[in-house]
């Protein structure tokens, strides 16, 4: 402390950045220089002079050691060459001209990698309340890392008793705390770490139920499956890359991935491409980036709770302490090879009672000319006779079907399917409870492409593979010809899962939904009032949760789902931009569906730049129908707190090797939520949706564009056309009309 009129001057060793880093950081990228410091806050300023006691080594500061001049999102500005690095640390106030701090106060917060730091924004410092616990804990379990673990697990992960939790980098600063919180919350927790010694520590010290050394596993997905055979409810991801890909394959329905960090990526020039994102749709998984800066409002509560756990012996702490500022560069670099065991920190000076050592998201109809065949007329007559109940013996009709000829790899072609002629009894067989439908309209939906391939690798699939030679199946609109089910009568108009054939015997009639708005075109129940409309509504309203003024981006915007999302966006008071694969569709978006702007993604050379042009202030909600490169480009353009509603990934459905999504790291600083959803989980809101949507259509607030082909023979080409964008609007096949 300055004790005379002239302030005392002390030497001040600092760790400075020597050069900007590309690839893995080395000790040589930093150097320790000796400077001097006046031990008094300069007159006329409001600042706090700190003597730094402990510096925290955190992986995130690696990002600040590279030069970013490409406009990418960064959590904090790049360090300047020759200036001291900065991070969270623990210090003692030497001098203060800020009314809230006095000399002698013990604090933690952002400080320099130096012996003394003049903190010019002292409001960012937090007073240490539990001086009865090791002060070093405020670099870890009671500081930023502890708060990160707590916010990630408790606030974002929202654990329930009995949940299966997986934690990567589990022996590290964040990981060790998450594991112990998981046990306190009554969960089953498995950790991965990069050394047998650490695996041991996880099981013996931190109470992990199981753990594995990821460096000695040849198949990470199999290792996770071995430890968590029933899957993962919560994955706290600190490493990203291949571990995230493996975890995605093992997530349970409704699972949550909290992206805390992606340390495996911080030193790579070209990020790992994450390939298993499609799983998040099938299993309705939420991936949420956590930026701890958004949680300082709960710090006080957290500090008390965590201090209590430590004192009660419910949370053990492992620190890896190195001594002296000269040790800091090696300690930081060691994080990326896993040299540290537990929270890595650097002790610069100790308070007396401290101890050294390791303590640890119009109707335009295109008719293909097709008149009703003789067979069709006969079938209709037979059906009519049957309905009149004029025959003792059930009439039999011919039944044309679209069947799968062979399992598909790569792009589906018309020749993968064939139309065969079968016969059908026009009455429900005696003794069964079923409904016989005359199919009126078949819906063409991209998702059924998945059922046309053979899956024998245990991969998650939305529905079983089709059988060779059997009729394809999908949502459709039909009329009940005969029924032995008490809730359904001959003559009823229904929609639901049916076969790609003229007549279908529905053996689970509970899945059929009666059509209420018969004053609207029945075909709408394949689209805007059926599964696709519900998809758009649930995805946008329930998952996207729009606010007035939000900036919304929709891909495959002229399609069945996309056109509805765009119009719902306008109803919700948002600004909406759509992408589509032809100028004709772009025009439709702007003139028919009220999109504020639109672009043809096929004529853009740089999708991220196209989005930047349309959204100079970024995107609040991206409703993703296509995945792949468009998703990657959107991730770069998301705003703070943005939501990616992952509805579909049509660009991926015909690929053998999925596109690797590279920009997931962006979800962490911007706390973006990437949430897959499956319309199957939203049928409980169907009745409300149907009324609301029918209202919008009648009021003219929602316009419908359909692409209708005639006759079952047209179905294979219509389905295949979805993947080249041949369809304009909702693709459907008309078999018979009411």
Task: State the nearest-atom distance from the C-beta of 164 to ligand NAP, in Å.
Answer: 24
Distance CA 272, CA 701 (A): 44
DSSP, collapsed to helix, strand or coil, labels residue 645 as: strand
Q: Which of 561, 556, 552 is nearest to 532 (CA)?
A: 561
Is 163 exposed, middle or buried (CB count within 10 Å of its CB: 0-12, 13-18, 19+)? buried
The single residue among 136, 264, 625, 714 that binds ligand NAP, judged by CB under 6 A, is: 625
Q: 719 with 452: CB under 8 angstroms?
A: no
> For ligand NAP, which is the closer residue by CB, 522 or 645?
645
**Number of neighbouring beta carbons within 10 Å of residue 591:** 10
Q: How many residues bind ligand NAP (CB under 6 A)?
A: 32
**Alpha-helix residue ranges (DSSP H) falling in 416-530:** none
Task: State the nearest-atom distance from the C-beta of 645 to ligand NAP, in Å.
Answer: 9
Q: Is 281 in the site for ligand NAP (CB under 6 A)?
A: yes
Task: State the nearest-atom distance from the C-beta of 68 to ligand NAP, in Å.
Answer: 30
687 CB-side CA count, 13 A:
2
Q: Is 722 in the site for ligand NAP (CB under 6 A)?
A: yes
Distance CA 662, CA 660 (A): 6
Task: State the nearest-atom distance from the C-beta of 449 to ligand NAP, in Å.
Answer: 8
Q: Is 340 in the site for ligand NAP (CB under 6 A)?
A: no
> For ligand NAP, which is the closer residue by CB, 178 or 543?
543
Q: Which stretch binds ligand NAP (CB under 6 A): 79-87, 167-175, 427-435, 440-448?
A: 440-448
> For ligand NAP, which is the closer residue by CB, 260 or 284?
284
Q: Is 327 in the site for ligand NAP (CB under 6 A)?
A: no
The single residue among 58, 445, 666, 706 that binds ligand NAP, judged by CB under 6 A, is: 445
Q: Is 626 in the site for ligand NAP (CB under 6 A)?
A: yes
Q: Is 723 in the site for ligand NAP (CB under 6 A)?
A: yes
Task: State the nearest-atom distance from the C-beta of 144 to ligand NAP, in Å.
Answer: 37
Task: State the nearest-atom distance from the C-beta of 602 to ligand NAP, in Å.
Answer: 7
Q: Is 727 in the site for ligand NAP (CB under 6 A)?
A: yes
Interactions with ligand NAP, residue window 542-581 (CB under 6 A): 556, 558-562, 580-581
> For ligand NAP, which is the closer residue by CB, 386 or 690?
690
Distance CA 455, CA 445 (A): 19
**Alpha-helix residue ranges (DSSP H) falling in 321-412:** 328-334, 374-388
Q: Is 55 in the site for ligand NAP (CB under 6 A)?
A: no
Across 72-224, the runs of DSSP E, i.e. the strands, are: 86-96, 106-112, 116-119, 126-127, 164-167, 188-193, 210-213
Q: 205 with 318: CB under 8 angstroms?
A: yes
Task: State the nearest-atom distance from the C-beta of 705 to ligand NAP, in Å.
Answer: 10
**Number of neighbouring beta carbons within 10 Å of residue 46:** 15
Task: State the nearest-atom distance from the C-beta of 556 to ligand NAP, in Å.
Answer: 4
> For ligand NAP, which is the closer residue by CB, 179 or 446?
446
> For ligand NAP, which is the closer residue by CB, 139 or 526?
526
Q: Is 113 in the site for ligand NAP (CB under 6 A)?
A: no
**Number of neighbouring beta carbons within 10 Å of residue 69:** 6
Q: Which of 447, 450, 443 is nearest to 408 (CA)?
A: 450
Q: 625 with 647: CB under 8 angstroms?
A: yes
The single residue among 192, 340, 399, 532 that binds ligand NAP, judged by CB under 6 A, is: 532
Cβ-proximal residue to ligand NAP, closest one:
559
Task: State the nearest-atom distance from the C-beta of 551 to ligand NAP, in Å.
Answer: 20
> For ligand NAP, which is the closer residue by CB, 318 or 412?
412
> For ligand NAP, which is the closer residue by CB, 282 or 471?
282
Task: State the nearest-atom distance from the C-beta of 472 to ligand NAP, in Å.
Answer: 15
Q: What is the CA radius of gyration of the chain?
A: 31
Angstrom distances, CA of residue 75 to CA of 442, 456, 622, 669, 716: 49, 43, 21, 5, 49
What character string, x for contact with ligand NAP (CB under 6 A) and - otherwise, covers 677-696?
Answer: xxx-----------------
What character string, x for contact with ligand NAP (CB under 6 A) and - otherwise, covers 577-616?
Answer: ---xxx--x-------------------------------
220-229 core/surface letters (b: 16 or more CB in 10 A; e: else): bbebbbebbe
Distance CA 564, CA 528 (A): 7
- Which residues lie across from 35 on neighbouring strands? 12
- Cα of first residue to Cα of last residue in the chain, in angstroms, is 92
Q: Which stretch binds ligand NAP (CB under 6 A): 90-98, 220-228, 605-613, 645-653?
A: 645-653
Q: Which stretch binds ligand NAP (CB under 6 A): 204-212, 262-270, 380-388, 675-683?
A: 675-683
Task: State the nearest-atom distance from the C-beta of 462 to ligand NAP, in Å.
Answer: 8
| DSSP code string of 623-639 | EESS-HHHHHHHHHTEE
Task: State the nearest-atom distance from the C-beta of 720 to ligand NAP, in Å.
Answer: 11
Q: Is 648 in the site for ligand NAP (CB under 6 A)?
A: yes
The single residue among 208, 447, 524, 595 that binds ligand NAP, judged by CB under 6 A, is: 447
Task: State the nearest-atom distance from the C-beta of 692 to ligand NAP, in Å.
Answer: 18
The single residue among 148, 168, 483, 535 that binds ligand NAP, judged by CB under 6 A, is: 535
| DSSP code string of 199-267 | HHHHHHTS--SEEEEGGG-S-HHHHHHHH-TT-EEEEEESS-HHHHHHHHHTEEEEEEEEE---GGGTT
552-573 core/surface letters (b: 16 or more CB in 10 A; e: else): bbbbbbbbbbbbbbbbbbbbbe
Q: Which stretch binds ligand NAP (CB under 6 A): 85-93, 326-334, 378-386, 648-656?
A: 648-656
Q: Which of 30, 31, 39 is nearest to 12 (CA)?
A: 39
Interactions with ligand NAP, residue window 26-45 (CB under 6 A): none
Q: Which residues bind ligand NAP (CB under 6 A)?
A: 281, 445-447, 532, 535, 556, 558-562, 580-582, 585, 625-626, 647-651, 677-679, 722-723, 725, 727, 730-731
């Amino acid at each position: 402390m300055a004790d005379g009129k002239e302030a005392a001057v002390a030497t001040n060793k600092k760790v400075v950045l020597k050069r900007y880093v590309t690839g893995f950081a080395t000790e040589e990228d930093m150097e320790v220089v000796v400077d001097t410091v006046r031990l008094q806050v300069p007159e006329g300023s409001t600042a706090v002079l700190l003597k730094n006691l402990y510096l925290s080594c955190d992986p995130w500061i690696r990002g600040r050691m590279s030069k970013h001049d490409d406009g990418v999102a960064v959590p904090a500005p790049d360090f300047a060459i020759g200036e001291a690095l900065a991070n969270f640390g623990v210090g003692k106030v030497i001098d203060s001209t800020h009314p809230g701090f006095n000399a002698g106060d013990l604090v933690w917060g952002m400080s320099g990698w130096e012996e003394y730091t003049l903190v010019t924004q002292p409001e960012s410092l937090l007073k240490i309340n539990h001086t009865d616990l090791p002060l070093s804990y405020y670099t870890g379990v009671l500081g930023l890392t502890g708060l990160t673990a707590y916010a990630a697990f408790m606030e974002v992960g929202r654990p329930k008793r009995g949940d299966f939790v997986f934690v990567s980098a589990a022996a590290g600063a964040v990981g060790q705390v998450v594991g112990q919180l998981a046990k306190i919350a009554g969960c089953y927790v498995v950790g991965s770490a990069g050394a047998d010694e650490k695996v041991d520590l996880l099981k013996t010290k931190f109470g992990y139920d199981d753990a594995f050394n990821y460096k000695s596993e040849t198949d990470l997905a199999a290792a996770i499956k071995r430890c968590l055979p029933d899957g993962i409810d919560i994955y706290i991801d600190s490493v990203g890359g291949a571990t995230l890909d493996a975890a995605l394959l093992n997530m349970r329905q409704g699972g949550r991935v909290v992206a805390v960090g992606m340390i495996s990526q911080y030193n790579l020039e070209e990020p790992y491409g994450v390939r298993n994102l499609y799983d998040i749709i099938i299993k309705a998984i939420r991936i949420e980036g956590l930026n701890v800066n958004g949680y300082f409002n709960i710090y006080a509560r957290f500090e008390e709770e965590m201090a209590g756990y430590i004192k009660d012996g419910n949370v053990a702490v492992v620190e890896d302490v190195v001594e002296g500022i000269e040790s800091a560069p090696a300690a930081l670099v060691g994080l990326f090879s896993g040299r540290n065991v537990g929270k890595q920190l650097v002790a610069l000076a100790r308070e007396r009672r401290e101890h050294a050592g390791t303590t640890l998201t119009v109707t335009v109809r295109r008719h293909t000319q097709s008149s009703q065949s003789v067979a069709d007329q006969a079938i209709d007559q037979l059906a009519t006779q049957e309905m009149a109940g004029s025959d003792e013996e059930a009439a039999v009709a011919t039944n044309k079907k679209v069947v799968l000829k062979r399992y598909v790899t790569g792009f589906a072609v018309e020749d993968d399917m064939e139309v065969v002629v079968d016969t059908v009894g026009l009455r429900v067989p005696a003794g069964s409870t079923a409904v016989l439908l005359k199919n009126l309209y078949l819906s063409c939906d991209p998702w059924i492409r998945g059922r046309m391939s053979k899956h024998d690798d245990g991969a998650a699939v939305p529905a079983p593979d089709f059988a060779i030679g059997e009729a394809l199946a999908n949502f459709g609109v039909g009329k009940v010809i005969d029924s032995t089910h008490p809730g359904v009568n001959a003559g009823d108009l229904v929609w639901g899962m049916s076969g790609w054939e003229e007549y279908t015997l529905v053996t689970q009639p509970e899945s059929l939904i009666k059509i209420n708005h018969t004053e609207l075109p029945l075909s709408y129940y394949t689209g805007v009032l059926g599964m696709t409309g519900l998809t758009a509504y649930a995805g946008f309203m329930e998952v996207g949760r729009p606010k007035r003024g939000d900036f919304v981006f929709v891909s495959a915007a002229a399609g069945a789902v996309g056109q509805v999302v765009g119009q719902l966006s306008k109803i919700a008071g948002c600004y909406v931009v759509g992408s589509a694969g032809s100028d004709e569709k772009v025009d439709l978006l702007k003139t028919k569906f009220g999109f504020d702007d639109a672009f043809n993604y096929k004529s853009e050379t740089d999708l991220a730049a196209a989005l930047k042009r349309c959204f100079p202030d970024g995107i609040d909600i991206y409703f993703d129908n296509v995945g792949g490169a468009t998703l990657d480009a959107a991730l770069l353009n998301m705003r703070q707190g943005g939501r990616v509603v992952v509805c579909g990934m049509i660009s991926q459905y015909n690929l053998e090797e999925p596109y690797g999504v590279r920009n997931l790291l962006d979800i962490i600083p911007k706390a973006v939520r990437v949430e897959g959803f499956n319309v199957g989980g939203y049928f409980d809101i169907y009745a409300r949706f149907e009324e609301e949507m029918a209202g919008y259509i009648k009021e003219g607030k929602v316009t419908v564009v359909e692409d209708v082909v005639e006759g079952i023979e047209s179905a294979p080409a219509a389905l295949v056309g979805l993947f080249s964008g041949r369809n304009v609007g909702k693709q459907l096949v008309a078999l018979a009309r009411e």
